[in-house]
Structure 1
Amino acid sequence: MSQNIKIYHNPACGTSRNTLALIRNSGQEPEIIEYLQNPPSKAELIDLIQQSGLSVRAVIRQNVEPFETLKLAQSDWSDEQLLDFMLKYPILINRPFVRTALGTRLCRPSELVLDLLSAPQLKPFSKEDGEVVIDEHLQRVK
């Protein structure tokens, strides 16, 4: 297991599964944190957001049930309140976050993880939907 790669993973999410597969396609095995079962601490969540260069609001998933019920689209929620909601309802945390020695990123789309991997891809790779990411010459398509 490579301790220098962490993925905050949801196995039910295709983007998260594709991201994990791209990491493994580089011959590395990340530390997998299934964040719905093992949510990050508040300090970890703040660090992930800050290191990724995103705003708190930018990492909230909007197409999940608590978002509408809690009326999180309203702009008057503070970052602190939004963080508390994400900690109480981890499904609100967008995914997958990946952390490596090269940085931290919210890997949407999944091929963004390639910018964080120091090892090359070992074989051609297509996403679950068939979209080619690494071609037969082991070159990144997009």
Structure 2
Amino acid sequence: MQVTLYHNGRCGTSRKVLDKLRAAGIEPAIVEYLKTPLDHVAIEALLERLELPARGLLRTKEALYRELGLDDPALDDAALIEAMVAHPILIERPIVVCDRGARICRPAETLDALLG
């Protein structure tokens, strides 16, 4: 099974998901999105795979979320995607994409549904 992990190595949950994948014998393609930020097209494709609106991919607990006023319900998906492109720390993590689907694996146990 081919698996892609959108990963932040400083995040305990992201590290736990990586460990769970490796324990299952899966070596994922790792996208360190803070080091190699995603562009508009990549975020839109990821949202489509996740079947989420842009707001569903935002880290609402991130201080920058409040500082930028991203809790404003008047902001549309385009504005929220623009914020994620400019500030990738706003993207929720970890995200696992495979042939069985895509999930934000928070908590890490969410991965179990994908591995089935």
Residue 50 (1) aligns with residue 62 (2): no
Aligned-partner SS, 2:103: strand
Compute the RMSD of aligned alpha carbons: 1.3
Larger radius of gyration: 1
Length-normalised TM-score, structure 1: 0.77
Could you tell me how far 1:36 is from its partner in structure 2?
0.4
Moved over 6 A (4+): none
2: CA distance between counterparts of 1:52 and 1:31? 17
Aligned length: 116
1:108 to 83, 94, 106: 106
**Structure 1: any 5+ residue segments left out of the alignment?**
119-142
Aligned-partner SS, 2:24: coil
Q: How does 1:28-39 map to 2 (within 5 A)?
A: 28-39=26-37
Aligned-partner SS, 2:80: helix
2: CA distance between counterparts of 1:103 and 1:25? 20
1:69 to 67, 70, 90: 67
**Structure 2: any 5+ residue segments left out of the alignment?**
none
Residue 81 (1) aligns with residue 79 (2): yes
